[in-house]
Amino acid sequence: MEFEAVIGLEIHVQLKTRTKMFCGDSVEFGAEPNTNVCPVCLGLPGALPVINRQAVELGVRAALGLGCEVHETSVFARKNYFYPDLPKGYQITQYDRPLATGGELAVPNADGGEPIRVRIRRIHLEEDAGKSLHDRIPGMTAVDLNRAGVPLIEIVTEPDLRSPAQARAFLVRLKQLLEYLEVSDCDMEKGSLRVDANVSIRPAGSAELGTKTEVKNMNSFANVERALAFEIERQIAVVRGGGKVVQETLLWDQARGEARPMRSKEESHDYRYFPDPDLPSLVLDRVAVEAARAGLPELPAAKAARFREQYGLPAYDIEVLTASREVADYFEAVAREAGDAKAASNWVMTAVLAWMNEKQRPIRDLPVPPGHLAQLIGLTADGTLSVTIARRVFERMAETGQPPAEIVETEGLAQVRDVAQLRQWVAEVLAEHGAEVERYRAGEQKIFGFLMGQIMKKSRGKADPRQASALLREALEA
């Protein structure tokens, strides 16, 4: 029997705020343990939560970007359970009245068919727990509460994904969208984006859902894909062996490449949700929500469509250029100023992305403003610079931040088109390579390339190749 996987994802995203969800402590990453804490996030007796306006605004923006219905009234509830890094003995989260419901995100289909439409079930606001370190002090758990109370949204999808690859593709799209919306920095290493997956299998073509398991602790998109593949295979093996999948939570062990059942849930969980009596309803102003909707940036799908339309770029280029909003904006600025989208695209996709990859830095750190790159494109278009020299000039621009003309000027890199100078280089090369000249004249045509190379070398790359080649031929045939 053929099996099909059914996957739904729960994604926790840290919102880009300066302070915590319910108190004014900093959310700065990497501070000394237990320094960004106050009565509220320490869960001290008598402390009370107050909702962070910026967190609400970012949550609303994310919900609008995912096409959700944003609810005018949502309610914070308490999820009660004990854990050393949960200071109050409950987490404040939205439960039966979430911020938003019913969105969608389309993911390109790797098989080339129609895009996969992944429905978003809900988005809700909540606070993060602290961090427990179980191996720092022997036999003890060490608790750092700097993270406790950091604002999160949880995005829950419907079980619309059918393979680990699709799940990964969805996450790539989601991250791209959230970055466009400037809702989160989505840095998995810093824990600002975390993914849990619900997985089940069923006979291909069946409409029923099988028993699902939950897989946690996957700290990269690649690991999500691996963990899901592992778990799907495991479930298929269980069913093929005549067994039944048990509903449970599994932890992905990256080092061993396997997902193992979590044992710390000693008794069945009963979270005893109830509305947090410390927090009245979160009521959004309809006008403000509409203003937020109107203020959304152009989203990836719309941008890609426009790039196709406006610049006539190939699909691959569009994919690369729109992967991040910053790169897309940079490309557009260069294209506008250079008046040549194709050239702008080529430069961004090669030189600019190479710099970003090499330096592992975002484009905003690139010392070359779009105007400078546009000037460089102009200098190659009018023949002042050869492509090779232009790449060298770009490297200098990326080091110094100088405009290209200045670099060309101070380093004398402009292409030499002065006929007298070119003739002199030709003459010198012919004189120095008498033997090769003889061979060429005897009919060995490929020697021409060698001689051209010598001219370029002598000119340190600056000789205008078209002119130099004409003059060389002229000299050889004379």
In the complex, minimum distance from the CB of residue 260 to another protein, in angstroms, rounded to a whole number:
8
Write out the two tokens for 420: 């007298």
- List CB contacts of 24: < 8 A, sequence separation 6 or more: 38
Q: Which of 239, 234, 229 has its CA nearest to residue 197?
A: 229
Q: Which of 57, 374, 8 has its CA nearest to residue 171?
A: 8
In the complex, minimum distance from the CB of residue 89 to another protein, in angstroms, rounded to a whole number:
2
Which segment (25-33, 188-196, 336-344, 418-426) binds another protein by CB under 8 A?
25-33
Site track 168-197 with another protein (rule: CB under 8 A), x = hit: ------------------------------
Write out the two tokens for 213: 């398991």
Q: Which of 1, 27, 2 has its CA nearest to residue 16?
A: 27
Judged by CB, which is closer to another protein: 35, or 310?
Answer: 35
Site track 30-59 with another protein (rule: CB under 8 A), x = hit: --xxxx-xxxx-xxxxxxxxxxxxx-x---
In the complex, minimum distance from the CB of residue 10 to another protein, in angstroms, rounded to a whole number:
21
In the complex, minimum distance from the CB of residue 147 to another protein, in angstroms, rounded to a whole number:
13
Write out the two tokens for 330: 């940079």
Q: What angle separates helix 300-311 from helix 315-322, to the nearest 10 degrees? A: 140
Site track 277-316 with another protein (rule: CB under 8 A), x = hit: xxxxxxx---------------------------------
Judged by CB, which is closer to another protein: 78, or 303?
Answer: 78
Write out the two tokens for 370: 């779009």
Among 2, 189, 208, 267, binds another protein (CB under 8 A): 267
Please tell me the distance from the alpha carbon of residue 71 to that of residue 124, in angstroms, as a whole number. 11
- List CB contacts of 434: < 8 A, sequence separation 6 or more: none
Quick check: 96 and 128 in contact, CB under 8 A?
no
In the complex, minimum distance from the CB of residue 228 to another protein, in angstroms, rounded to a whole number:
21
What DSSP state is assigned to residue 352? I
Judged by CB, which is closer to another protein: 139, or 242?
Answer: 139
Judged by CB, which is closer to another protein: 133, or 222?
Answer: 133
Quick check: 200 and 209 in contact, CB under 8 A?
yes
Site track 365-384 with another protein (rule: CB under 8 A), x = hit: --------------------
Residue 352 contacts another protein per CB under 8 A: no
Number of residues counted as binding another protein (CB under 8 A): 70
Residue 414 contacts another protein per CB under 8 A: no
Q: Distance of CA 16 to CAs 30, 59, 157, 172, 201, Å?
A: 15, 10, 22, 19, 36
Residue 326 contacts another protein per CB under 8 A: no
The residue whose two tokens read 């108190």 is 23
The sign of the CA dihedral 319, 187, 63, 61 is negative
Among 6, 11, 25, 178, binds another protein (CB under 8 A): 25
Write out the two tokens for 439: 């061979």
- List CB contacts of 426: < 8 A, sequence separation 6 or more: 455, 468, 471, 472, 475
Please tell me the distance from the alpha carbon of residue 430 to that of residue 450, in angstroms, as a whole number. 11
DSSP string, 398-446: HHH---HHHHHHHHT-SPB--HHHHHHHHHHHHHHTHHHHHHHHTT-TT
Q: Which of 231, 202, 236 has its CA nearest to residue 215?
A: 231
Residue 144 contacts another protein per CB under 8 A: yes
Please tell me the distance from the alpha carbon of residue 59 to that of residue 52, in angstroms, as a whole number. 11
Among 23, 181, 228, 341, binds another protein (CB under 8 A): 23
Site track 56-95 with another protein (rule: CB under 8 A), x = hit: x------------------xx-x-x-x-x--xxxx-----
Judged by CB, which is closer to another protein: 134, or 457?
Answer: 134
Judged by CB, which is closer to another protein: 141, or 388?
Answer: 141
The residue type found at 130 is G
Which segment (227-235, 258-266, 295-303, 362-370) binds another protein by CB under 8 A?
258-266
Among 263, 364, 443, 477, binds another protein (CB under 8 A): 263
Residue 270 contacts another protein per CB under 8 A: yes
> In this structure, are strands 151-157 and 116-127 parallel, antiparallel, or unpaired?
antiparallel
Judged by CB, which is closer to another protein: 108, or 130?
Answer: 130
In the complex, minimum distance from the CB of residue 33 to another protein, in angstroms, rounded to a whole number:
4
Which segment (6-14, 176-184, 232-240, 273-281) binds another protein by CB under 8 A?
273-281
Among 142, 354, 405, 476, binds another protein (CB under 8 A): 142
Angle (CA) 194 197 202, round 5°:
165
Using CB under 8 A, list all residues that contact another protein.
17-19, 23-25, 32-35, 37-40, 42-54, 56, 75-76, 78, 80, 82, 84, 87-90, 97, 133-137, 139-145, 251, 260, 262-264, 266-267, 270, 272, 274-283
